Structures are given as C-alpha cells and as structure tokens.
Structure 1
Amino acid sequence: MQQAAVERIDPLYADVHAWPEPEKHDDDARLDFWARAATLLDWETPWETTHSWTPPSRQARRGPDMRWFEGGRLNAAVNCVDRHVAAGRGQKVALHFEGEPGDRVDVTYADLQERVNRAANALESLGVGHGDRVVIYLPVLVETIVITLACARIGAVHQLVFGGFSAEALRFRVEDTGAKLLVTTDGQYRRGAAVPVKANADAAVAGLTVDAGGTVEHVLVLRRTGSEINWTDTDLTGDGLGRDVWWHEVVDTASPVHEPQFFDAENELFIMYTSGTTGKPKGLVHTTGGYLTGALFSYLRLFAHPDPAQRDDDVHWCTADLAWVTAHTYEMYGPLAAGATQVIYEGVPNVPHPGRHFEIIQRHRVTSYYTAPTLVRSLMGWWPKGVPGEYDLSSVRLGGTVGEAVNPEAAQWLRREIGRDTRDAQGRPSLPLVDTWWQSESGSTVLSPRPEATAFTPGSVAQDMPGWKTAVVDEFGTPTGTDVQGNIVITRPGPSMARTVWGNPERFYTSYWEKYVDAENGRGWFLAGDGARRDQDGNIWILGRIDDAINVSGHLLSTIEIESALVTHPDVVEAGVAPVYDPKTGHAAVAFTVLSAAAQQRLASHPEQEAQLIETLRGHVAQVIGPVAKPRTVIPVPEVPKTRSGKIMRRLLTQLHDGQRLGDTTSLQNEPCVPQIQRICQERGTAPTKEKSHV
C-alpha cells in the first residue's frame, strides 16, 4: 500500500476512541488504519509504502521479513520530547519522579528536552553513534529515561537491564549485544537500603573491554547512593577519558543544544531480552517507526481520557520496572509520544510501608493505574480489610493489568478498593479495567477489553485490538470450538511486532514461526506460546503457557484456572500451580501457595494444623472447578518465582519439585526464593521416584 503524504494529527487532541475499527478480514482497511495511526507521529520524511510482507521460509529457516512505513524517516526522541516543546507545551510536567527514600522531582517537557540533549552530546563525546549498542543497567530514575531517549536521538540501539539482575545476567547482555557503552550507578535503593551496583557492572565487563578484544569502551556511572566503589581510569581508546566516567562530569556539563538525526522507519530502536528457565534469553529487535506507532496508538486508545479536551488532566502510572517491555511501551515511548504526564517510582510498593502506592496516587492525582496481577495480590495480602479510607484515590478513573490474566479476586479487589469512588447507578464499584495481553515480541497490546466497555469478565482479555488479528487453533491450525483449549496465534501482526532475534534469525524462526509456517497457503502465523480458548461470545481467555498445561489422565487442565480457584480462599494470597511427574496419571498438579499473614501466624502457633489446611485447600479447588482439578498436594512457600513482568515461572516450579536440573534463573525478579523452594521440596519429599523403563 502506498502513502504519498502525511498529514500530522496532534496526539494530545486525537479522538482515537471514535476511530472505526477495521474489519478483521479486510487487509486493505487494516493497512489504512495503521497509516492513519502513523500520522499521530511527526515524520521528517513521509513514508512511501505502509507495509510489505515476505512470508517465513521453511527452506531458509527464517522468519518473515515484515516492514512498515518504508521510506519514512523520523526520530523517536523528537516525537517524545521536542515536538511537545515546539507546540508550546514545554512547561507541562512529563515526569513526576518518586525515589524510594522519599526524594521527589517534577520534570517538565522543556527540562526533559534539555536533559536528553545533554545526554546525546555526552554519548557522542564517548564515541557512541548510529547503530552502536548501549546497555543501561539502572533502576527507575529520571536519568534512565533520559539516557534511553538520548540513545534514540542519535540512533544508538539501547538495551535496558533490570538493576537487580546479577552480574552473570548483565554480562550475557553486554556480550550478546556487543555493547560499546555500559551505563550504571554506584548503587540503588531497594527495599529500604542502599544496595551497591557498580561491582556487578565491573564483573560484567571484565574481559569484554576493547583492550581485552571485546567491545566495551566506557562505563558511565551515575552517582545515586554515594556507595563506595572501585574505579578504573585506564584510557582504553585514546580519547583522554578513563574506562569509567562519571555522569555528572560528562552529561551534566554537556551542551543543552543538540541537532537530532532522522532515521529510517525500520532502523533498530532497542533490543528486549525474554526470560526463561531453559536456554539463553532471546534478544528481540524492535524498530523505530512501527514500534512507536503501535505504542502511541495503543496508549491513547487504552489509557488516555476519551475526551481530548480533558486529556491535559491525565496522570498515568505504569508500575513496571523500566527494563521491562511494558515500561518501554507504556511508561516511556507511548505516554511521552502522546505528551502525557506520568509517575515513575524507583522502589518497591511496601517501603517504608505497604500504603506507598496509595500515597503516590493521592499526591499526584493518578488517573490510570496499570500494574501486574501479582502486585494486586500482594496489596490484597497486606490490606486484608481493604485500603484505609484516609487515602484519597478518587482521581483514579481506569485500572489496568498486564503480565498474566487477572484472576477474579484481584480484579474485584481493584474495582472495590482502588476504584471505590467509581460507581454505577446501583452503587456498585464500576472502575473500568483493561486486562491487556501482549508480549515482548508484539511490542504493544494485542488483546484487551475496551476501557469504555460496561461489562468486564475477569480473566477474559476480550478481543483483538484494532489492526491486529489473532486465532485460537489446534496443533494443525484448525480453529478450536467454543471453550476448547488451543494455541493462540497472531495471524496479522501490528507494526510494533519484533522483527528478529538479535544475532540469531534462525532462532526467531524456530521459536515463533516454524510450527505454523505453512498456514494460510504459506503466509505463516506467529505462535505466541500461550494456550487460550474462546467463549460463546467470541472473547478470548488466556490459559497460561502451552507447556504449563497439565494433562491428568486425559483431562487438560489450565494452571491459571487452578491458581484462580486457590486465591479465592482467604488463607491464600498467591499460588503457582505446576505440572509434575506422577507414576499413575502421567502428570499431576502441585500447588505452591503463598499464605496470608493470618494463616502463617496460625500455623506458626499450631504447626500440626498444616495438614488440615492442605486438605482444605485441595477440597476448595475441587469445589470451585471439579474433583479432577484437585492438586495432588499443596506446598506453602514464602514466594513463587516470577519474571520481571510478574509471570509465574511454572516450569521452574516443576524442575524444583521433581529435582530436575535448573536452567538460567538470573533473570527472575526474586531469584533468592529459588533455593528456599528447593529446600522445602527436598525436605517434604513429595516427588515420586521415576521408574526406569525396560526395553
């Protein structure tokens, strides 16, 4: 499809809620829709071709060559900052920053522009340019967003790493990307303490610097905590600077004026690594024009006020760490491209007390609160009697969840406690909720209820977002019937879709395209890796990872459904259900449960009551779902292992229970719980010994 000219639409006043959604089977209408969405951006050069698609190839073992807005040139940082200042909105607050120790700062768009310009000049002074990779190992700080946008401004490819990851996890990303620069801090505040970080950075780059045959030339260090650190001042490149350089010496002193470059729409913007318990993480490559289009449109459609005249009052808060793809899309690029005001918070939600999030909502008058079901369940455990009335949460008009399908209890709690001031004509809590389903691979939301929908069924991610098309199919690509579990596939990706795996295009093919490469006469479908089903209304329910499904004596059970049943019991705050070996049924379900504070106290005083509680919880699942879903046993644990996105790592629970060799666990957000669970499983000895086969 050709596009001759681009007539820009100001995103602050774009009434995207009124845009008609294209018919799913009309590819021309779908491309027209995305062409219109792309006009929400500022293009230095208009694109010539909206979209082209070269199917995946079984023979070449490669994924599809998908391109969006070819011929167009733009700059992501200009779209997120400069254009809002040029439009006269420089004094609008872009970021309300909250540090864990209590420090706060408001950053306007004019201030953000100056900071990004300084950082862009500093990057160039360190020898970083178009196409170079920069690894950013920082917590949620204003500077994290600044250096990320500075990379985008000069065309460097950024890769953000969670500040709590180990040196091993960081090292892999530095080496795999061939990074020229690592950005880090002296330390970070985490759970009420200053935690040293620089030592991890030093370990990660050891042997990977240019003098050792690697690619790293500099380590840029931000002073955050004042922690004592080691310093390497060896000049590796002859530029007169040491390997280690201070942020305040090279960034804060740089010129606040910078002339941006403009790049092809398909220019690489960032690399996003996936987590897993087996195999190395995959570095997914996202490009500029398509990703930014998907991020901006979906932010406006799901989170911005439907009335553009009231959009100036929006204060968005996505609670994710900036290293996660959700934060890239709905904490950086989407909201900033829209000219929105948002909150960013450095710390954990229960420091110095479990009401920290409510204080932040009240102080900044947050209007959209986007978080993970696992965090909601934590809040439920901390506040079993509900959120105290002293917190003013009346500003919240929209709630959102991401990571895993929200269970009914968590959704109802969000509506009742966070949205207590939003009620329908009958006085019932009616806070609009968007339960979004998407992945690092898709780059933006694929499935979600619309925020204006009057009905919301917890656990159902409803239907396709405009411009996307999905299907639930069996192993052979045939659509499944009503309420029959199948594989969810993306048959028509949006422009924010990842293009390949960094340095390994064959892995992109084998991971996502090989299974359905012949679908639709060779067009090919993307295998998302999640199980799903459609209900009688056509809405999709996500049932967890395909390999998390449990086949018990021929009955296919969803781990999420069993977990949702467990958390309806007042003694359970969170649950992770895993398929484990069983000599009779092949597989069995084992439930790892995080008990409520009251239940923990009760068992601490009367440990003999644990057996009775386990049987009560097993019976509760049987009552809610049916006897076939009853877990073989229930194991109380302090935490369940989760990725940074809040997804429970059920395969890891299987490995821990059955005594299997563990894969990489360095990418977990709570890695210390792994040896704890391993010890609990060994002490309980609930895993049957596998019988040796005789041939």
Structure 2
Amino acid sequence: MKPLEPGPFFDVLADRGTRTLVHLSRALDIAPDGRTSYGIEDLAELVAQAAGWLTALGVTRGDRVAVIKPNHWDYVLLACAAARIGAVPALISDRLPAETLQLLLKRLDATALVTTAGTLASTRSTGTDLSAFTRRTLTLDASASGAIPLADVRGHRPPPAHHRPDDAPLAIMHTSGTTGIPKLVTHTTATLIHRIAAAEARRWPIVSTRRDDTVAQATSYAHGRGLAWTVSVFWLAPREAVILDGYDPGRAEPVLRAHPPTALEAAPSAFVRWQPLTASPDNPFRDVRLYINTFDAIHPPTVRAFLGASRRRLPLWVQVWGQSETGPLTFRCFTRRSVRALGKRHPTTRDLGRPVAGKARLRVVDPQTLQPVPRGRPGLVLARTRALCAGYVGETERLRAKFTDDWFATGDLGVATRSGRLLLLDREVDTVRGGSCVEIEDVLHDRLPEVVEAVVLGRASGLPLPVLVTRDGKLDRAAWRRAVADLPPLDEPTLLPDGQLPLTATGKVRRQELRDRLLDGAPPYGTGHWT
C-alpha cells in the first residue's frame, strides 16, 4: 500500500518508528477513558478499534458513513477507520442547522451515522431526527432512542486494511455554507492525498514541519483540511503535535502554554479570538517560527499581532487560499515588515500571492461573457488544478455548471496583477457596487482596534450595511466617521453583541443568514450564479 493512504496510515507510521507525541485540548469522543496524550502506536490501535466498530455496525466496502459530532480530531480518526475497511466517510459539522443536516443526510443515503446522544437530542429538540435518514446510528457517548451505543460494538476486530483504486471516492466533506446550503464534496485518494497532502509531506525549506517542531492545529476537523493536514504533518514526524478542538481563548491558552508551539496552523477565526493573548511578554506564541492560516483571508492587524508576539528573529506567516473543491490554489508569505503599514488602503492580506507552482493555474474573466480580462482589471477567478474534487453528492449538474472550457469557476472576484499575483476582492454574491467588501472590512479592522468582527453586506439597491462586533459592545461615532472618510459610501453601522454573528464551523460569517436577519432578505448586488 502507498504510505499516505489514510486507512493504514498510523500503522505505517508505527512500523517506521515515528515518535510524535500528541497532546489534545480535551479527550476524544471516541475514547471515553479521558486520555489527552497519545503515541503513534496508541493511535494506530484506536483507528483499528474504530474500524472494528464500523464493521460490527454492518458497514462494508463502498458504503457511506456519515459523521456528525462535536468538533475534535476524532473526525479524522473515524475517517481513517472507515477508509481502512473500504468505506467512504462523510464528515459533517454539527454546527450546521438541523434542517441543513437533514438535507445533507438525505443526499448522502449513508449506511451508518456516527454521532453522539447529545447531538441527536439537540436536533430532535428542533423537530429533526437524524437517525431517521440512515440505516443504522451509532452513539459514542451514551444511549439514545433508535441508536446503537458504542458499548454494543466494542471489541469487534476489523478485516485487514483495504486498498482502493486511486480514483475511487475516498472521503466526502462539505463546503463552508456561508451563502446557503453547503455542498457535499467528494475527493478521491488521487485528489486529496496524492495531489494535496503528498505535496505538503515533502521537506520544503522553512515552510515544512521539522522533526524538532511542536506543531499545533485548531480547525474544523469535519473539513478536508483536517485529514490532509494530519497525513502531511504526521508523515514529517514532528516531536509533538498539539490539537485543539475549539477557538475559545480561555480553553486554548493553558494547552498552548503547556506545549508552546513552534509551528501553528489555525482557521482565521481562531487567530482573531486568540489575538488578545499576544499582548503579554510571556505569551504562548513566543516560540512560533511559522504561522499558517487556511480557509479564508485574514485581517492585517491579526497577522501583525502574532508576528510581533514571536521572539524569533524572522517569524513567517503563510496564507493559503483555496477551496474545498480545489485544495490550495495560491500562497503568500508575510513578514513583520510586509504588514508594517497601518490603516492604509493597500492589499496586504488581500494579496493572495501567486498560484502554487506546478499545481494550479488561474484565469480572470468577465463574469458575463467569460472572456479573459486584461491584467489589472477585476473579474471572476477561474482555476485549473489536478486536485479538483470528483463531484458534488446529489448535485451532479451543479459542478458541471461551474465549468467553462475546462476551467472551474471559484465564485470569487479578483484582479490578476502584471506580476502574476492575485488580489482578492469578494465572493461574487457578496460584492458591492464599485468596491470590495473584503477591502472595507480589512480597513475597518486596521483603523478601529476595538472591532472584533466587521462584515459588510452589499445589496442591489441602497448603501452597503456594515455590521460590527466590538470588544465592549460600543462604537465611538467620531472614530467611525474618521475611519470611513475615504471609503465608498456606507450605511450607518449595525452593532451586534459578541456571539450573535451566525458562524460556520470554520468561523466564517454565514452572510446569507445575516442578510435575511438584518436586511429582510433584500437581494444582494452580486448574482450568486457561481456559488
């Protein structure tokens, strides 16, 4: 078997003598013994045990296994367990609304659902019974009506690890769902492992995991990044891996202090939530040499704060832009110097850098004619990559509709510079007339330090609406007027209390839900054709 295949992955690591020690922010839901530290051999045994549970549940080759549970790394371990017996794991965040979970389960037609009694109870309280949309349901934490408890399937040994063709479905993940119902994205071993994870599993100078690193990760493990990160980083055998199940700074800080990371990857929302922790001289990020953010562009003040928190002479920040369907498309490195400018209308983190060499190509076209536009002109960003997903579950035509001349429409608007870099403007559906929501949001964060989150909602008629969350729930109106003086005209800002923004599992704002709440469903300025 190829060494990076998820099914036998931890067995291969154990056989080659990998000594990475894993520290968890809390115990895994699939391991109720309360452990928060694991060696590689322990993880190999845990994956094998979980494969046995699925076999006892009646799961066989080619079956789909839905996983919906509280966020933690055992999403990835369950995916490895399903892959080990030739099944296809479908990882779905429990942060999605109950009606959305119901729709996705209907599309999946899964043989089994792995969940928790708490998750079932939460959705049943809204009138949705997730167990009704799958043949068998396994609960990890306690007994629940219509479900099989974990105790009933423990101890069943799985068959030997199964090898599947590279082009067969390996795993299903969902998109963020910021603009509506998430899409279920199918990846194969070829696309997710050999063309995404394998590229990162090489020892590149500076940006790769080192053997003496303590790497830390905080993400939504239901998304494809969790599996790709696990395979690529653990193959490089760091000394320690610190895995956090959430973004709450109060829970993350003790873990990060106990195991100070030298390389830290997190969703942008995690970095934003942790930003106040950077202020102390003995902050938990003082030894970080490499920061990585995925899923979304990040605001300049956040990058500036974390680079300043490191005591390393030249810490580096790597920003990766891509999508669930494509994997990484561009990357950009930041240093303290490159984010030094404060409060100006300059691209900074909206400059996504260049396409990943040899892995991706980009083209910017007119959204109406789909003809290429000159460099320096805004347009719809198309991508071509061999890592493109195999399809959308239950929506075959939707993926086909996003292609033009073998180029995939990302749904993002951007500008290709003369030097070949990509400047991000907006999601097409979220854009504003004659401007960029992303730029306005960046500038507001830079000029108003009290702002925790700024969201600009464009609309077909009327001024864009700024929605702000501030640290103390207040806004200095004079400071606001100064901050927006050179920006496109905006409506008066709406203040929301912290915790009231509707968020995806990765911390992105669900803009359509916010639009429905604050703008009474007013149509956006963008068409939404490419979502």
TM-score bracket, shorter-length normalisation: 0.7 to 0.9
What residue identity is the alignment partner of 2:318?
V
Q: Given that residues 133 and 180 in structure 1 are in contact (C-alpha distance below 8 angstroms), is that contact kept between their aligned partners in structure 2?
A: yes
Q: Give the CA deviation at 1:112.
A: 1.3
User: Using a 3 Å threshold, how does the CA distance of structure 1 residues 408 and 170 change in structure 2: closer, same or farther?
Assistant: same
Q: Give the CA deviation at 1:158.
A: 0.9
User: Using a 3 Å threshold, how does the CA distance of structure 1 residues 219 and 306 change in structure 2: closer, same or farther?
Assistant: same
Aligned to 2:321: 437
User: Using a 3 Å threshold, how does the CA distance of structure 1 residues 279 and 646 change in structure 2: closer, same or farther?
Assistant: closer
Q: Percent identity?
A: 23
Of the candidates 604, 610, 621, which is equivalent to residue 484 of structure 2? 621
Q: Given that residues 373 and 406 in structure 1 are in contact (C-alpha distance below 8 angstroms), is that contact kept between their aligned partners in structure 2?
A: yes
Alignment of structure 1 residues 456-535 onto 2, 5 Å: 457-466=348-357, 467-475=359-367, 476-490=369-383, 492-495=384-387, 497-510=388-401, 512-513=402-403, 517=404, 519=405, 524-535=406-417
User: Using a 3 Å threshold, how does the CA distance of structure 1 residues 197 and 395 change in structure 2: closer, same or farther?
Assistant: farther
Q: Give the CA deviation at 1:422.
A: 1.8
Alignment of structure 1 residues 239-254 onto 2, 5 Å: 244-251=147-154, 253-254=155-156
For 2:74 and 2:519, the matched residues in 1 are separated by: 44
What residue identity is the alignment partner of 1:375?
A
The answer to whether structure 1 residue 548 and structure 2 residue 430 are counterparts is yes
Of the candidates 276, 283, 300, which is equivalent to residue 391 of structure 1? 283
Q: Given that residues 218 and 245 in structure 2 are in contact (C-alpha distance below 8 angstroms), is that contact kept between their aligned partners in structure 1?
A: no
User: Using a 3 Å threshold, how does the CA distance of structure 1 residues 573 and 480 change in structure 2: closer, same or farther?
Assistant: same
After superposition, the C-alpha distances for 1:302-330 in whole angstroms (9 at most, x for unaligned) are x977498x822223222112112332322
Of the candidates 238, 254, 265, which is equivalent to residue 166 of structure 2? 265
Q: Given that residues 100 and 346 in structure 1 are in contact (C-alpha distance below 8 angstroms), is that contact kept between their aligned partners in structure 2?
A: no
Alignment of structure 1 residues 289-438 onto 2, 5 Å: 289-300=190-201, 306=206, 311-330=210-229, 332-340=230-238, 341-350=240-249, 353=250, 356-380=251-275, 382=276, 386-417=278-309, 419=310, 421-423=311-313, 430-438=314-322
Of the candidates 503, 519, 525, which is equivalent to residue 658 of structure 1? 519
Please give the secondary structure, in 1, of the residue aligned with 2:42: helix
Of the candidates 65, 79, 83, which is equivalent to residue 148 of structure 1? 79
What residue identity is the alignment partner of 1:448?
F
Of the candidates 110, 134, 145, which is equivalent to residue 231 of structure 1? 145
Q: Given that residues 55 and 156 in structure 2 are in contact (C-alpha distance below 8 angstroms), is that contact kept between their aligned partners in structure 1?
A: no
User: Using a 3 Å threshold, how does the CA distance of structure 1 residues 500 and 198 change in structure 2: closer, same or farther?
Assistant: closer
Q: Given that residues 85 and 160 in structure 2 are in contact (C-alpha distance below 8 angstroms), is that contact kept between their aligned partners in structure 1?
A: no
Q: Given that residues 179 and 510 in structure 2 are in contact (C-alpha distance below 8 angstroms), is that contact kept between their aligned partners in structure 1?
A: no
User: Using a 3 Å threshold, how does the CA distance of structure 1 residues 617 and 451 change in structure 2: closer, same or farther?
Assistant: closer
User: Using a 3 Å threshold, how does the CA distance of structure 1 residues 478 and 172 change in structure 2: closer, same or farther?
Assistant: closer
The answer to whether structure 1 residue 539 and structure 2 residue 421 are counterparts is yes
| Structure 2 stretches lacking a partner, 5+ long | 340-347, 525-531
Alignment of structure 1 residues 68-217 onto 2, 5 Å: 75-78=5-8, 80-89=9-18, 91-93=19-21, 95-99=22-26, 105-141=36-72, 143-187=74-118, 197=122, 199=124, 203-205=128-130, 207-208=132-133, 216-217=134-135
Q: Give the CA deviation at 1:635.
A: 1.0
User: Using a 3 Å threshold, how does the CA distance of structure 1 residues 436 and 99 change in structure 2: closer, same or farther?
Assistant: same
What residue identity is the alignment partner of 2:459?
V
| Structure 1 stretches lacking a partner, 5+ long | 1-41, 45-73, 189-194, 209-215, 233-243, 424-429, 604-609, 664-695
Of the candidates 310, 314, 332, which is equivalent to residue 449 of structure 1? 332
Aligned to 1:645: 506
For 2:246 and 2:179, the matched residues in 1 are separated by: 29
Q: Give the CA deviation at 1:644.
A: 2.1
Please give the secondary structure, in 1, of the residue aligned with 2:36: strand
After superposition, the C-alpha distances for 1:215-264 in whole angstroms (9 at most, x for unaligned) are x33211112xx6xx5433xxxxxxxxxxx22224423x233x74111110
User: Using a 3 Å threshold, how does the CA distance of structure 1 residues 248 and 315 change in structure 2: closer, same or farther?
Assistant: farther
Q: Give the CA deviation at 1:197.
A: 5.0
For 1:201 and 1:182, the matched residues in 2 are separated by: 19
Q: Given that residues 217 and 265 in structure 2 are in contact (C-alpha distance below 8 angstroms), is that contact kept between their aligned partners in structure 1?
A: yes
Please give the secondary structure, in 1, of the residue aligned with 2:459: strand
Aligned to 1:558: 436
Please give the secondary structure, in 1, of the residue aligned with 2:449: coil
Q: Give the CA deviation at 1:196.
A: 5.7
What residue identity is the alignment partner of 2:378?
Q
Please give the secondary structure, in 2, of the residue aligned with 1:286: strand
What residue identity is the alignment partner of 2:483?
H
After superposition, the C-alpha distances for 1:92-147 in whole angstroms (9 at most, x for unaligned) are 32x32121899652222211111111221221222111111111112244543332
Please give the secondary structure, in 2, of the residue aligned with 1:567: helix
Q: Bigger shift: 396-405 or 336-345?
A: 336-345
Q: Give the CA deviation at 1:293.
A: 1.6
What residue identity is the alignment partner of 1:502?
V
For 2:282 and 2:467, the matched residues in 1 are separated by: 35
After superposition, the C-alpha distances for 1:417-438 in whole angstroms (9 at most, x for unaligned) are 2x2x122xxxxxx421111101
Q: Given that residues 178 and 504 in structure 2 are in contact (C-alpha distance below 8 angstroms), is that contact kept between their aligned partners in structure 1?
A: no
User: Using a 3 Å threshold, how does the CA distance of structure 1 residues 230 and 248 change in structure 2: closer, same or farther?
Assistant: closer
For 1:98 and 1:177, the matched residues in 2 are separated by: 31
User: Using a 3 Å threshold, how does the CA distance of structure 1 residues 614 and 311 change in structure 2: closer, same or farther?
Assistant: same
Q: Bigger shift: 164-173 or 457-466?
A: 164-173
Please give the secondary structure, in 2, of the residue aligned with 1:575: strand
Q: Given that residues 248 and 273 in structure 2 are in contact (C-alpha distance below 8 angstroms), is that contact kept between their aligned partners in structure 1?
A: no
Aligned to 1:30: none
Alignment of structure 1 residues 593-632 onto 2, 5 Å: 593-597=468-472, 600=473, 603=474, 613-614=476-477, 616-622=479-485, 626-627=486-487, 629-632=488-491
The answer to whether structure 1 residue 43 and structure 2 residue 2 are counterparts is yes
For 1:661 and 1:580, the matched residues in 2 are separated by: 7
Aligned to 1:287: 188
What residue identity is the alignment partner of 1:422?
R
User: Using a 3 Å threshold, how does the CA distance of structure 1 residues 371 and 346 change in structure 2: closer, same or farther?
Assistant: closer
What residue identity is the alignment partner of 1:81?
F
Q: Given that residues 380 and 428 in structure 2 are in contact (C-alpha distance below 8 angstroms), is that contact kept between their aligned partners in structure 1?
A: yes
Q: Give the CA deviation at 1:337.
A: 4.5
For 1:393 and 1:645, the matched residues in 2 are separated by: 21
Aligned to 2:529: none
Structure 2 length-normalised TM:
0.85
For 1:368 and 1:549, the matched residues in 2 are separated by: 34
Q: Given that residues 618 and 630 in structure 1 are in contact (C-alpha distance below 8 angstroms), is that contact kept between their aligned partners in structure 2?
A: no
Coordinate RMSD, CA, aligned: 3.2
For 1:662 and 1:158, the matched residues in 2 are separated by: 36
User: Using a 3 Å threshold, how does the CA distance of structure 1 residues 145 and 274 change in structure 2: closer, same or farther?
Assistant: closer
Give the aligned length: 506
Q: Bigger shift: 161-170 or 126-135?
A: 161-170
For 1:279 and 1:652, the matched residues in 2 are separated by: 8
Q: Given that residues 79 and 171 in structure 2 are in contact (C-alpha distance below 8 angstroms), is that contact kept between their aligned partners in structure 1?
A: no
For 1:294 and 1:451, the matched residues in 2 are separated by: 25
What residue identity is the alignment partner of 2:398?
R
Please give the secondary structure, in 2, of the residue aligned with 1:433: strand
Q: Given that residues 367 and 396 in structure 1 are in contact (C-alpha distance below 8 angstroms), is that contact kept between their aligned partners in structure 2?
A: yes
Q: Given that residues 7 and 162 in structure 2 are in contact (C-alpha distance below 8 angstroms), is that contact kept between their aligned partners in structure 1?
A: no
Q: Give the CA deviation at 1:277.
A: 6.2
Q: Given that residues 550 and 589 in structure 1 are in contact (C-alpha distance below 8 angstroms), is that contact kept between their aligned partners in structure 2?
A: yes
Please give the secondary structure, in 1, of the residue aligned with 2:222: coil
Q: Give the CA deviation at 1:202.
A: 9.7
Q: Give the CA deviation at 1:342.
A: 2.5
Q: Given that residues 210 and 236 in structure 2 are in contact (C-alpha distance below 8 angstroms), is that contact kept between their aligned partners in structure 1?
A: no
Q: Given that residues 247 and 274 in structure 2 are in contact (C-alpha distance below 8 angstroms), is that contact kept between their aligned partners in structure 1?
A: no
Q: Give the CA deviation at 1:338.
A: 4.3
Which protein shows a greater Rg?
1
Aligned to 1:6: none
